[in-house]
Structure 1
Amino acid sequence: MLLISENDNAREKAKQSQLNDHFECKHIGKVSHLLSVKFSHSNDGSVTRSQQAYIQRLLQRFHLEDARSATTAIEVRPFFLEKDESEDTNAKVPYKELIGSLLYLAQRTRPDISFAVGELAQQCSKLTVQHWNSAKRVLRYLKETMEIDITY
């Protein structure tokens, strides 16, 4: 799958023609949804990407739709600065699933969570209750800021 974004129709047609010369292509026009990303096209040529529906599905999957939201993605004194000797929770929670979902968001539409998720991703092999709570905090932050999107 190849997604082409071009403001100039003539250049877009030229690119499509070049691709058709080498590959069998199907042109579907403007994309509105692709891989859990919503695309909104403006008259000025800008494109806005958002993932509100994906965030809502994550809140439901991890049973946080009724949880209190958070105003920051990470605590003031982050978990990775403290020694935590609490119980290992590796087998008890879907930590890797949540981190993978958060990484997907960070890479597509939410770079504001990249630092927190990157730090949390490093804890997959030595997971503690504090790490799990911090990962859920990122999701609660996304609940608070669900309307944030990216415009190009």
Structure 2
Amino acid sequence: MLMFATNDQLLKNAIDDLGKYVDLKDLGEPRYILGIQVNHDKKEQKIKREQKITLNQRKQIDDILKTFHMEDCKAVKTPMDVSQWKQSLARATESKQATNCPDVPYQSLMGHLMYLVQGTRPDIAFATNYRLWW
């Protein structure tokens, strides 16, 4: 179980209260949660007396690129450019792109991308959902 609070005393009180009912073990600051990396900015904490926590899925993104042999792919901007979207739609419709690629594990790739969208990458939601149409 992860617990967060706005200050240390509030967190300690919550842990003590919960500890009356169940056995608790403090494992320290988390590094990964369900494949999501948790970064604690200690430098920021010393300067402002508050801790900055950021989340990312860089390792999972790298693993997806390796799994689907896309390590050398080129990045595109998101949100998706409308003109690019219309051109892509026209090309896909003309070539029936989705039915001509039976060897591509398309559903698996889309599942991986949806997990990223739900975790830390809502910025790729439109482009991912657009690709789900195929």
Instruction: Confirm or deny a common fold (TM above 0.5).
Output: yes
C-alpha change, 1:73 and 1:95, in structure 2 (3 Å) is: farther
Contact 2:65 2:71 in 1 (8 A): yes
Q: Helix, strand or coil: the match of 1:38?
A: strand
- Please tell me the root mean square deviation across aligned C-alpha atoms, in Å: 2.4
Between the aligned partners of 2:20 and 2:68, the Cα distance in structure 1 is 47
C-alpha change, 1:90 and 1:13, in structure 2 (3 Å) is: farther
Query: Hey, which of these two has a bigger chunk of helix by percent?
Result: 2
Counterpart of 1:51 in structure 2 is: 57
Matched, 1:17 2:16: yes
Q: Deviations over 1:90-147 (max 9, x none)?
A: 74321111111111111111110112222333x3xxx3xxxxxxxxxxxxxxxxxxxx
Q: Helix, strand or coil: the match of 1:78?
A: helix
Counterpart of 1:84 in structure 2 is: 93
Matched, 1:63 2:69: yes
Larger radius of gyration: 2
Greater relative CO, 1 or 2 (CA 8 Å, sep 6+): 1
C-alpha change, 1:90 and 1:15, in structure 2 (3 Å) is: farther
Unaligned runs of 5+ in 2: none
Contact 1:32 1:39 in 2 (8 A): yes
Counterpart of 2:119 in structure 1 is: 108
Corresponding residue pairs, total: 122
Percent identity between the two aligned chains:
28
Q: 1:89, CA displacement in angstroms?
A: 4.7
TM-score scaled by length of structure 2? 0.74
* Farther off after superposition, 74-83 or 59-68: 74-83
